[in-house]
Amino acid sequence: MATETKLLLMSADNHIVEPPDLWTKNIESKFKDRAPRLIVGDEFDWWCVEGGQSLGSIGNTTNAGARFRTDRPDEIPAEGRWESVLPGAYDPNEAIKDMDIDGVYGGAIFPTMCVGGMWRMDDPVLFSAICRTYNDWIADFCHSYPDRLKGVAMINLDDVAEGVKELRRAHDLGLTSSFITIYPKHGRQYHRDEYEPFWRASEEMGMPICLHSGTNRDFLPMNLYDPADENEPLGVIYATNDYWVRRSVTSMILSGVFERYPELKVVSVENEAGWAAQWLYKMDLLQRDRGMMWPRFKNDMTPSDFFHRNVFITFQEDYVAVSGREHIGLGNLLWGSDYPHTEGTWPDSRRIIGEVFAGTTQEELRIMTHDNTAKVFGFTPQLA
């Protein structure tokens, strides 16, 4: 049974929670008055930038594990205070302790506010400064445990040349992968030639590129997805978030990015994965039956061939993805805990994995919860 494994887990999706003074203390002096900062409100704490633009509250970072301690997870507060954030979200020593509680050996580390409202900032110069400051901080955070904590560099590609420069600097800092906007500004999608230097540099340095949910770069209202209706229910956003990563990865596949850069790795993060089976089927079907609208690749490669070689998908509790592993690709699926967010699986990851992966073999379980993440993010395999 899959639940009997003693395997140490690898999480492809862990997070930190940015300390209140991360930018006010560390950003370049000319940006200090405009830097992101935490505001202590009357009822909850929230982030703002540019002296007042709201970036959202810290609510989903203050109730780690709460959904396992109640019969009514729908009643867990949506807002919170900084004091309620787990120390492991900003202290690497405490992070390791929390990972040990969960049976997780290694984690790819993403930010929290930096995969949300900050990507909607208008000023690309300020945003790039925010990225540089974060990259310095996360590199330092991971420095004490380089075998267990793999920080993911935050890269703004509004100016691709500057993005390549920051990618190289992040590599020199010891960061081993990057994340970019899941969906660029309108008219600048990833089929465009302007991104070639970034694809090339990422392949040369062996740095996978991550597309994390919530990082849309288009300047839309607080509702990220529909500029025509700011009152659309929030649940619609979360239920359809895979739309954006499908658009971007399809654009890359069909424009030949992976034909030109065969060693490049791209990772969809926190968009779940069950949708991929039908998506792959549809791309191949359209190429086969409607080829006049689709490109032909060398050696008769199909869109799904490029996916299986170059693209990976993280998921958390997606039993549909596990049941569709033969179609999606056993080697393309990476489990992640989403620690320390409210919707994450900490500290009950092993129990949940036992439920989600029921019916898999020990080998299949090891591949999806350990081997694939180790391979993509550069962890040394740890077999207990």
Cβ pair 180, 167 in contact under 8 A: no
The strand pair at 37-40 and 45-49 is best described as: antiparallel
Question: pLDDT tens track of the chain, all 384 residues?
Answer: 344 446 799 999 999 999 999 999 999 999 999 999 999 988 889 899 887 777 888 887 888 888 888 888 777 777 789 999 999 999 999 999 999 999 999 999 999 988 877 898 889 999 999 999 999 999 999 999 999 999 999 999 999 999 999 999 999 999 999 999 999 988 899 999 999 999 999 999 999 999 999 999 875 544 444 444 667 777 777 788 899 999 999 999 999 999 999 999 999 999 999 999 999 999 999 988 877 677 889 999 999 999 999 999 999 999 999 999 999 999 999 999 999 998 999 999 999 999 999 999 999 999 999 999 999 999 999 875
pLDDT at residue 141 in the model: 98
**Alpha carbons 337 and 315: distance in angstroms, whole number:** 8
CA distances from 199 to 181, 196, 261 (A): 14, 5, 7
Which pair of tokens denotes residue 24? 């006010």
Residue type, 241: N
67 backbone φψ class: left, alpha, beta (φ>0; ψ -120 to 50): alpha
Helix (H, G, I), strand (E, B) or coil at 315: strand
Asked whether 17 and 81 are in contact (CB, 8 A), the reply is: no
Which neighbouring-strand residues pair with 153? 178
Instruction: Give all domains of the chain, ordered by start, each with its CATH number.
Output: 8-17+89-377 (3.20.20.140)
Structure tokens, 180 = 């970019």
